[in-house]
């Protein structure tokens, strides 16, 4: 079974600064995706960024980027130029897409990020 | 466009009462459907998933059950609620093969409080 570990329960950052959220995972699968989801106070789950394991290039979406280290099974999220609206719970998630995987998402316990003005 | 509806948004139920939460998807067909529970604002735990009508897989033994009577309808039920069933319930869907790289689309959730 896959496991996802987020070792930082809470973090805070000043507005306009950069912050990195950590995530490690454990799997024996070769074919998988990794995701970061954001859950603001409204509790709506929002996809922030995704990474395909077979791609060496790190994914980037505007101010959000990842550092994907496949051998180390590490998948960190960097938020640049932090904004007040980035305040949310952030979840790292793993999905195997091997045959018969049923595409279940396994989540970490989350990191509560607070952006201070 | 593809949308997912989940209701009710908030529910307060007494211990021992029945439960029915509904989730419907529009604009797609034959999706995988999932029920997750989030307790105390922390991680999400997969409860049930379905790959087709009438096909239900349970991840965690518990007081809940799920059904999929139609292709785009997923129902979470309980005959008698326990205090420990309180939490935030999320429904999600994904299209196999074509849509997996996009991850899940989540409903807006149901906040259940058992009193």
User: What is the CATH classification number for the domain harbouring B57?
Assistant: 2.60.40.10
Contact flag B43-A104 (C-beta cutoff 8 Å): no
Is pLDDT of B105 > 70? yes
pLDDT in tens, A16-30: 999 999 999 999 988
* Number of structural domains chain B divides into: 1
Q: What is the pLDDT of residue A7?
A: 95
Tell me the pLDDT band of B95, cut-offs 50, 70 and 90.
confident
Q: What average pLDDT does this structure show over A82-96?
A: 96
Cα–Cα distance list, B86 to A78, A90, B112 (Å): 33, 22, 5
Q: What is the pLDDT of residue A109?
A: 94
Q: How many Å is the maximal CA-CA distance in chain A?
A: 47
Q: By mean pLDDT, which of A29-33, A94-98, B12-16 is the weakest? A: A94-98
Residue A26 is classified by DSSP as E
Q: What is the pLDDT of residue B55?
A: 94
Distance CA B31, CA B27 (A): 10
Range of the domain at B99: 3-114
pLDDT in tens, A54-83: 988 999 999 999 999 999 999 999 999 999
A contact test, residue of B30, B34, B59, B103 with most A CBs within 10 A:
B103
Do residues A53 and A31 lie in contact, with contact meaning Cβ atoms separated by under 8 Å? yes
Contact flag B57-A105 (C-beta cutoff 8 Å): no
Do residues B64 and B85 lie in contact, with contact meaning Cβ atoms separated by under 8 Å? yes
- Tell me which CATH homologous superfamily contains domain A3-116: Immunoglobulins (2.60.40.10)
Please report the number of interchain residue pairs, chain A to chain B, with beta-carbon separation below 8 angstroms.
Answer: 56
Domain map of chain A by residue range?
Answer: 3-116
Q: Which residues of A touch B88 (CB under 8 A)?
A: 43
Is pLDDT of B98 > 80? no
Measured in angstroms, the CA of B106 and the nearest CA of chain A are apart by 6
For A108, which residue in chain B has the nearest alpha carbon?
A: B43
Do residues A104 and A94 lie in contact, with contact meaning Cβ atoms separated by under 8 Å? no
For B98, which residue in chain A has the nearest alpha carbon?
A: A97
Tell me the pLDDT band of B97, cut-offs 50, 70 and 90.
low
Nearest beta carbon to residue A107 from set B41, B43, B59: B43
Give A65: exposed, middle or buried? Use CB within 10 Å, 0-12, 13-18, 19+. Answer: middle
Q: What is the pLDDT of residue B103?
A: 81
Distance CA A111, CA A97 (A): 25
Measured in angstroms, the CA of A18 and the nearest CA of chain B are apart by 24
Q: What is the pLDDT of residue A14?
A: 98
Q: Shortest CA distance to B29 belongs to which of B2, B7, B61, B67?
A: B2
Measured in angstroms, the CA of B27 and the nearest CA of chain A are apart by 19
Distance CA A53, CA A83 (A): 29
Residues in chain B: 115
Is pLDDT of A99 > 70? no
Three-class SS state of B100: helix
């Amino acid at each position: 079974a896959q496991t996802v570990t987020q070792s930082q329960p809470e973090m805070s950052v000043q507005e306009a600064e950069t912050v990195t959220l950590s995530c490690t995972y454990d799997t024996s699968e070769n074919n998988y995706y990794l995701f970061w989801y954001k859950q603001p106070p409204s509790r709506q789950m929002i996809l922030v960024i995704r990474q395909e394991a077979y791609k060496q290039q790190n994914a980037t979406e505007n101010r959000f980027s990842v550092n994907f280290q496949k051998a180390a099974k590490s998948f960190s999220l960097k938020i640049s130029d932090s904004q007040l609206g980035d305040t949310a719970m952030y979840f790292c998630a793993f999905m195997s897409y091997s045959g018969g995987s049923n595409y279940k998402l396994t989540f970490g316990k989350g990191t509560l990020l607070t952006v201070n003005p | 466009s593809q949308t997912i509806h989940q209701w009710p948004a908030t529910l307060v139920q007494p211990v021992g009462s029945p439960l029915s939460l509904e989730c419907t998807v529009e604009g797609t067909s034959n999706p995988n459907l999932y029920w997750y529970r989030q307790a105390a604002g922390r991680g999400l735990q997969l409860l049930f998933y379905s790959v087709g009508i009438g096909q239900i897989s349970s991840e965690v033994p518990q007081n809940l059950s799920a059904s999929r009577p139609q292709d785009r309808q997923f129902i979470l039920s309980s005959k008698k609620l326990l205090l420990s069933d309180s939490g935030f319930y999320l429904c999600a869907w994904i299209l196999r093969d074509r849509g997996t790289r996009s991850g899940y689309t989540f409903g807006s959730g149901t906040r259940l409080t058992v009193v």
